[in-house]
Amino acid sequence: MKHVSIKFTLGIALLALSAIAISACGNDVPSGAVATVGDESISQQEFDRWFKTASAAQAQGGQVAEPDPPDFEKCVAAKKKLPQPQGQDKATDSELKKQCKTEYETLRTQVMQFLIQAEWVQQEAEKQDVKVTDAQIEKSLEDQKKQAFPNEKAYKQYLEQSGLTEEDVLFRVKLDELQRKLTQKITEDATKVTDQDIEEYYEKNKKRFAQPERRDLRVVLTKTEAKAEEAKNALEDGDSFKQVAKQYSIDEASKAQGGKLPAITKGQQEKAFDEAIFSADKGELVGPVKTQFGWYVFEVDKITEASQQTLEQSKETIRNLLRSQGQQKALDDWIKNFREEYKDETSCADDFRIAECSNAPKEETDTGPASGGNPGGTPQPAPAPTPQTPQQ
């Protein structure tokens, strides 16, 4: 590759495994390579390096079952040494071999996705003249280290334990920065929203900027009409809603608020109660009103008239909404074309074919890149507790 050699922050510990010797023969893929993207090759050596790291990451500090195809003898032997779960029959060699094969194929796919997608991102950045300087990468790493690690010693300890180098980490940061800058470039035109765009949206969506009439109530809800009459009589005799609600109400929510039921809009309540609320005058004691929940006695405490937000008041909200929609559409369209273009340019060796390859197995489906501020998807073969650039 003419780009920085593929390095990625994978894994918890680096275990020295023997190189996986699988012949890399496939459509237009040269000897010693697992894939090509355009004129660039991804070497078997690169694959082996990241496969080892991913395998160690999967072990997460435990005993590593070495995926050594095609017989998986080391992997089966390692699995036999693992503690046997209580109540389960001991797995046969055939079953363990099947587990090893599945684990190998999963890791192989993840590592190939990382290597291929990382190459896609670098080639696209070069095509669009998107660059990041060493100073920008260093600054981004320092910012992330401050969030992920309490001090420099903890960061160094992590590198030592994981078997990663700072160059590995810097490469991941570089990929993130390239993707962030690609996103900015792709969506920059979509941030332009005219006053005419805003006005048209407002006229088509006026109801969204309308506020219906709202009424604040004081209520008492009882199980029976007789109890409701008692509560109403107490209120008419001068007792406060707080006192009466505490004594009579079965609605714990409004009872805890002294009988208050705020910001009721038309259509929220059961039909009979709703009609009574919006036909009552402010300060009028109404009830009992029968509902499926019981009998209400209530008073309208406050009326907030319906209102319509003006175009001028809505302008910034609409501008931000249209800008966000435009950016997302531009990004989604670009990602779709990006994948199609680079997949056509990607050929994989027979034993390394995945969904990202133009010669992908028919039974596989494309695993598309993450959308929304992450062009091409962040290649991530395996989880690792490394600093991550926040995705937009």
- Residue 370 pLDDT > 80, yes or no? no
Statement to judge: residues 141 and 285 lie in one domain:
no
8 vs 308: which has the higher pLDDT: 308
Residue where a domain stops, chosen among 272, 305, 338: 305
Question: Does a structural domain hold residue 383?
Answer: yes
Q: How far apart are CA 388 and CA 138, in angstroms?
A: 13
Statement to judge: residues 158 and 227 lie in one domain:
no
Q: Which domain holds residue 182?
A: 1-194+321-392
Q: What is the pLDDT of residues 10-53, one digit of tens each?
A: 322 222 222 333 333 445 789 999 999 999 999 999 898 888 77
Tally of domains in the chain: 2
Neighbours of 251 (CB within 10 A): 18
Neighbours of 24 (CB within 10 A): 21
Statement to judge: residues 290 and 335 lie in one domain:
no
Question: Does a structural domain hold residue 10?
Answer: yes
pLDDT for the residue 26: 45
Question: Does a structural domain hold residue 312?
Answer: no
pLDDT band at 172 (very low <50, low <70, confident <90, very high): confident
Statement to judge: residues 244 and 96 lie in one domain:
no
Q: What is the pLDDT of residues 324-356, one digit of tens each?
A: 998 898 889 888 889 899 999 999 999 899 999
pLDDT band at 123 (very low <50, low <70, confident <90, very high): very high
pLDDT for the residue 163: 60
Statement to judge: residues 265 and 381 lie in one domain:
no
Q: In the predicted model, what is the mean pLDDT of the chain? A: 80
Statement to judge: residues 225 and 183 lie in one domain:
no
Residue where a domain stops, chosen among 259, 274, 305: 305
Statement to judge: residues 180 and 255 lie in one domain:
no
Statement to judge: residues 18 and 164 lie in one domain:
yes
Statement to judge: residues 14 and 162 lie in one domain:
yes
Question: Does a structural domain hold residue 38?
Answer: yes
Q: Which amino acid is at 340?
A: E
Residue where a domain stops, chosen among 270, 305, 340: 305
Q: What is the pLDDT of residues 194-246, one digit of tens each?
A: 899 999 999 999 888 988 899 999 999 999 999 999 999 999 998 999 999 99
Statement to judge: residues 34 and 167 lie in one domain:
yes
Question: Does a structural domain hold residue 34?
Answer: yes
Question: Does a structural domain hold residue 298?
Answer: yes
- Residue 295 pLDDT > 60, yes or no? yes
Q: What is the pLDDT of residues 280-293, one digit of tens each?
A: 999 999 989 999 99
Statement to judge: residues 34 and 160 lie in one domain:
yes
Question: Does a structural domain hold residue 190?
Answer: yes
Cβ-based burial of 305 (10 A; exposed 0-12, middle 13-18, buried ≥19): exposed
Can you give the CATH number for the domain in which 251 is found? 3.10.50.40
Q: What is the pLDDT of residues 137-161, one digit of tens each?
A: 999 999 999 999 999 999 988 887 7
Q: What is the pLDDT of residues 259-282, one digit of tens each?
A: 999 989 988 888 999 999 999 999
Q: How far apart are CA 298 and CA 291, in angstroms?
A: 13
Predicted TM-score (pTM) of the model is 0.59
Question: Does a structural domain hold residue 285?
Answer: yes
Statement to judge: residues 20 and 129 lie in one domain:
yes
